[in-house]
Chains A and B, each alone.
Chain A
Amino acid sequence: MNFWVSLDQWAFLVPLLPALAFVIIGALGERLSKLEHGGWLAVLFSAGSMVLGFLIAIGEMLGPGTYVDVRYTWFSIPPSSTGFRDGFSLVMGTLVDPISALMLIVVTLVGFVVMLYSIGYMHRDTGLPRYYAILSLFLTAMLGVVLADNLLMFFLFWELVGVCSYFLIGFYYAKPSAASAAKEAFIVTRVGDVLFLAGIFIYFAMYASADPSWAASGFLFTKGNAAFLPLGQGVNPTLLTIAGIFLLAGAAGKSAQFPLDAWLPDAMEGPTTVSALIHAATMVAAGVYLLVIGSLFLGFTSTDQLAIVAVGGFTTIWAASMACVHTDIKRVIAYSTVSQLGYMVLAVGAGFAMVGLFHLYTHAMFKALLFLAAGSVIHAVTTQDLFKMGGLRKKMRYTAFAFLAGAFALSGIPPFGGFWSKDDILSSVYSQLGTHPEYWPFYLMALATVFLTAYYIFRVYFLAFEGPSSREPGLSEHAHESPWVMRVPMLVLAGMAIVAGLLVFIPPFATLFNPTLTSPAFPVALPLNVPPSYPLVDIELSALSVALAVGGILVAWWLWGNGRLASMPRSAPARWMRETLLQRYYVKAAYDWIGGVGVYSIARASDFVDRFVIDGTVRGFERSFAGISQRMRKIQTGVVSDYAAYVITGLIAVFVIVLFVAPWLVSRLGGG
């Protein structure tokens, strides 16, 4: 076994290293204050993880057929005479294949740079051991998701990721809005998760009934084996459709797709680093990753695909529209994330899983970059309100450069990363329109979103970095460039934002996007040629999207860049429009109503029933016994004549029973 392949045996170390950091920081806590409260430990371990992850990824690029699956029995019921004919087991294992290798690169890289950035950014906060510990745990969980070789393990770490997100959003837990946002994030994603779980059950049942030996071997949820299952053989298409929808629900929850998108903008209550890592680059991408896996290994029916396309396509414009009006720098980027995730979902739904993955990869880089840059700004001016910033480019050159790089990437301006991937998506979907005319509206939505994207991100750029120094006196005057621990990560990511798209033209790297060519893990023909658009196949489409993007930038410049609009438009329709967008189309309010009034009222009513009807019955028994007892006590009059009367009454009762009642009963019961 060559070196690169044997390296895959150690893939479990990649998530384990941050886990060690979690344990050490969690156990030692404040005793690590000399190491930036554990921050340097976290950086160290994540660096180790990154190195190992990169090595494994390189191995995957170089080594032919390096599909390595290491398993460990997690939960097993041995074979027995009944029940599962061949036993039942759930396994844990790491699977290194091109897809997970790509994800390894993304997660470990962004993870490491964000850790490093945190050293500078979080320096002033308290509770840092908690921060670093949970951030490390998050890395573990995310890497677990990436490396999972079966759906159960995927789900397990998926849930862990959610909890880490919960704690990190609620990092400033003393702030009611942070605590509330954390709760909201957890519960909304939970809705997706339980549906995802239902989907898992359906896949399990389908595969187990198609091939019972799965249950025994522990291959049950294994991605690799799932592909062996000939779809359509013993599989009920309706069931498969429902399972796909459930999977989509799970992904929508995690990736903040419509209608489960409300939590992500609120999640910006967490530290900006968290937003960068979790709510831009990695965790929210896990939903897309899930759909990629579902598309490649579990199989979607055409109904599922349409649903996915619809959700993704609609989400792009839905979120982008809201991003256009918000004044909080982080929220705008958050809506942008939702919107971009919509692109990825759209691609996967249209059948181009690897294209979606490609955008996931480039998006992780430039979106993390945007957040880090935004964080740097916030760090400097201590506000998140765009209208209080301005003219920062002169004081924060690195940051401005980084942000601009991210903005170009996001807008899809060649040769920045975002251009390649977004254009790939658009052309891929376009290529399907012939056979799937029902994709048309969603394609158009995605196309329109290109314009909106460029508009809102450059709106941010112009408001923050250009223009007059500050509209609010005293805020940006003392702003200065961030320390190197924050600058280096930004520069690394800025570099990635520029070259990420170009990297795929380097052959070894490209293999990651082309698993059919190299990996025996995927012996069946995948339903697409990945990547279809290298070299560009449809120059007209590319030109259109670039034109839209440039148009967006120009409009942004026209409105905001030269100070034409000092404030928001004031006409009534505009105000109404703006208010609707700021209120997120009132969806959030509806959710709050469902949770706070609807469900809670049912709970209160149930509580009433429980206390007064069910328990009331019990107490009624008590009371009636007591009442009977009290009333019957009265027969004990204390007068002996009455007692004698009872005796005689009893005697007569005995007579009656013996002569009439009992014989009748006995004859009814069938005699002696």
Chain B
Amino acid sequence: MSLVTTLLDFLPEILLLAGALLVFLVDALGLRRIEVVGSIAVVTILLALLFVFADLGFAPVAFLAAIPPGQIDVFPPAGSTPLYWFTSLGLFFQTFFLLAAFLVALASMSRPSRERGAAVFYGLILLATLGMMLVAVASDLIFLLIAIEVVSIPSYLLVAYTRRDTRSMEAAMKFFIVGALSTVLSFFGASFLYGAYGTTNLFVLASGSAIANGAAGGGGFPLLVVIGYSLLIAGLAFKITLVPFHAWAVDVYDGAPDDVSAFLAGGTKKIGLFAFFLVFLGPVLFAKVAFQWFGGIGPVSFGPVLQVLLSILAVVTMSVGNVLALMQKSMKRMLAYSSISQAGYMLIGVAIGTAPALTGASLQVFAHVFMKSGAFLVVAAAAGLGVGPLIADWRGLGQKRPWLSAAFALMLLSLAGMPLTVGFVSKFVLFSAAIEAQGYFVWLAVAGLLNSALSVFYYGRVLKVIYFDSPAAAPAVPAPEGASPAASGAAAGPDHTPTAPLALGGLGYARAATIAIVAIVIVVLGIYPGPLLQPLAAAAQHFIRLGL
């Protein structure tokens, strides 16, 4: 495999890197208008998306494919321990990540045109996206963890990029500390796995051989593996905000600039789920050899134990997320908790570990990219219109801003899993898969569905505020302590040159277009999900077969 072909395989990633460098270059040259850097980023992302589509084999663009079809979804040669490997599910996730980046990049172009941090913002977005794409092709634990760092480090900085906002900075600080702790735990766990297997290749890890040997009494290290995986769960759970590793997320989504919140919740969070696929699906599927458990219980095997653990985490996460979302007063915190509970649903897919479940979880990720980014982007747009951070500040928006409110309502209904939205389809597939798996997984489906019913309560409450409450005469509730007048990236401050009001009554074309795209996707794929669902199901099937 020559260097050129290797690089060609990574054409989309290289494009993103080039785009990031170009953005920094343009910034250095002084062309730091947001239209310029934003366009570069958007175009880059779209190009990358095009190539990923080509690699996935979508007929209209298949001729652009850089990765030979024979290299996707096949087993690596015997004895080799590749660091990265192409799977169609990974490529699908790449498209999801790119879509999330695209939405945020496009919407952010409606921010004040002379904003200082624009170049850094877009550069970091592109770099983080690059990292996300790398996560999706990892086949080595360390590769995976460093790729996650490629995402994390820009994320910390993105949260802080407004520089002048104490809330953002506080969020960045929290994000950084918890993130760094998680990094430490992940690597520490990885070191144990390395110690047990002698390699960090995920194909090898997936085989569960180190555990299997342990049963025979020769050379296996069950405890090392088990403790290692436990540490990894703790480390990666930080990323997908499982309870109780979630506490940072609420503050960060709340404190971060709205566009960044959209990117974090809709985008970077999802790498954690794919990491879970990569790291834990193998043990779930293959570590089925029974051995005597610590403390004399058994014989049981690691796979089912892991399934139970993940199931417990999933149920706890969705329940706690939903319950906490119930009484939130701040819109972004409510969305943050809802995002946490959604992570619980997605985790069901890993816990079950069947192809249908994987399909459902992936689809849920896809849906969530749109729903959650979209929701945060609407919040950003609303902040730009002078709507305060509290849910109560949205009173009567349905009358003042019918289209924006309708889009937001659509997103919330989709989050709640109402029919004719993509959120419904994804939940339907996911919970169908849980019931299809039978056994105690049915109770996972029940828990998930009851939770989604509970979630209706707080989504409904927001709809109530938007549509049923009459508009407030004046902002009745003062902003919470430490909040800037409008906690958004578009906030006017000394750092930002005031600019003329945006088009569409302050919304801006780009942001309006983004929200429209989200709404259309939610509805169209809610009505006709076949074109997405069928290849995704096939990809999940391949992924399971590979045992990654």
Residues of A within 8 A of B (CB): 625-626, 628-630, 632-633, 635-636, 638, 640, 642-644, 646-647, 649-651, 653-655, 657-667, 669, 671-672
Contacts and interface: CB of A to CB of B under 8 A. Distances in A.
B178 A657 contact: no
A659 B295 contact: yes
Contacts of A633: 324, 327-328
Report whether over half of chain B's contact residues are helix, strand or loop; otherwise say mixed.
helix
B318 interface: no
Contact of A671 (B250, B251, B304): B304
A672 B301 contact: yes
Contact of B238 (A647, A655, A658): A647
B231 A651 contact: yes
A626 B177 CA distance: 31
A646 B245 contact: yes
Contacts of A630: 327
Interface size class, chain B: 35 or more
A663 B294 contact: yes
Report whether over half of chain A's contact residues are helix, strand or loop; otherwise say mixed.
helix
A653 B320 CA distance: 16
B299 A635 contact: no
Contacts of A662: 304-306, 308-309, 312
Contacts of A661: 308, 312
Contacts of B178: 640, 643-644, 647
A649 B244 contact: yes
B513 interface: no
Interface string B159-196: 00000000000000110011001100100000000000
The CB with the most chain A CB atoms within 10 A, among B229, B298, B440, B454, is that of B298
Contacts of B226: 658-659
B538 interface: no
Given A635-B247, A636-B251, A671-B304, A654 B230 contact: yes
A660 B300 CA distance: 11
Contact of A658 (B181, B230, B248, B328): B230
Contacts of B182: 647
A657 B308 contact: yes
Given A654-B233, A666-B305, 14 more contacts: A626-B326, A636-B251, A643-B174, A643-B251, A647-B185, A649-B244, A654-B309, A654-B313, A655-B227, A658-B230, A662-B305, A662-B306, A666-B301, A667-B293
B307 to A, nearest CB: 8
B323 interface: yes
B237 interface: yes
Interface string B317-331: 000100111111000
A636 B247 contact: yes
17 contacts: A629-B324, A632-B320, A632-B323, A633-B327, A635-B247, A647-B178, A647-B234, A647-B238, A651-B230, A654-B313, A657-B308, A659-B293, A660-B297, A663-B294, A666-B304, A669-B440, A672-B304
A644 B320 contact: no
Contacts of B185: 647, 651
A646 B301 CA distance: 28
A647 B308 contact: no
Interface string B198-235: 00000000000000000000000000001101110110
Contacts of A669: 304, 440
Nearest to A653: B244
Nearest to B248: A643
B542 interface: no
A672 B305 CA distance: 8
B440 A643 contact: no
A630 B325 CA distance: 10
A650 B244 contact: yes
The CB with the most chain B CB atoms within 10 A, among A632, A633, A657, A663, is that of A663
The CB with the most chain B CB atoms within 10 A, among A626, A629, A662, is that of A662
B309 to A, nearest CB: 5
A625 B327 CA distance: 9
Contacts of B174: 640, 643
A625 B294 contact: no
Contact of A629 (B231, B303, B323): B323
A665 to B, nearest CB: 5
Interface of B: 173-174, 177-178, 181-182, 185, 226-227, 229-231, 233-234, 237-238, 242-245, 247-248, 250-251, 288, 290, 293-295, 297-301, 303-306, 308-309, 312-313, 320, 323-328, 440, 454, 457
Contacts of B325: 629
A665 B306 CA distance: 11
Contacts of B243: 650
Given A667-B300, A671-B304, A642 B234 contact: no
A663 B293 contact: yes
B245 A647 contact: yes
A31 B299 CA distance: 94
A654 B305 CA distance: 11
A628 B233 CA distance: 27
The CB with the most chain A CB atoms within 10 A, among B234, B237, B306, is that of B234
Contact of A660 (B173, B234, B295): B295
B137 to A, nearest CB: 28
A649 B288 CA distance: 28
A593 B181 CA distance: 77
Contacts of A672: 288, 290, 300-301, 303-304
B173 A640 contact: yes
A664 B294 CA distance: 10
B308 A665 contact: yes
Nearest to B319: A628
Contacts of B326: 625-626, 629
Contacts of B231: 651
Nearest to B185: A651
The CB with the most chain B CB atoms within 10 A, among A635, A651, A653, is that of A651
A594 to B, nearest CB: 45
A664 B245 contact: no
Contacts of B251: 636, 638, 643
Nearest to A664: B297
B272 to A, nearest CB: 14
Contacts of B237: 650
B284 to A, nearest CB: 11
A662 B301 CA distance: 10
B356 to A, nearest CB: 20
A111 to B, nearest CB: 58
Contacts of B324: 629, 632-633, 636
Given A644-B177, A644-B178, A669-B440, A629 B327 contact: yes
A657 B303 CA distance: 13
The CB with the most chain B CB atoms within 10 A, among A625, A635, A646, A672, is that of A672
B123 to A, nearest CB: 27
Contacts of A636: 247, 250-251, 324
Nearest to B287: A672
A650 B454 CA distance: 25
The CB with the most chain B CB atoms within 10 A, among A629, A647, A659, A660, is that of A647
Given A625-B323, A654-B230, A663 B181 contact: no
A666 B308 contact: yes
3 A-B pairs with least C-beta separation: A662-B308, A643-B247, A651-B234
A664 B244 CA distance: 23
A646 B234 CA distance: 11
Given A632-B320, A632-B324, A651-B230, A663 B288 contact: no
A636 B241 CA distance: 14
Contacts of A658: 226, 229-230, 305-306, 309
The CB with the most chain B CB atoms within 10 A, among A628, A640, A661, A664, is that of A640
A629 to B, nearest CB: 4
Contacts of B457: 625
Nearest to B325: A629
A313 to B, nearest CB: 66
A648 to B, nearest CB: 8
B314 to A, nearest CB: 13
Given A658-B305, A659-B226, A646 B244 contact: yes
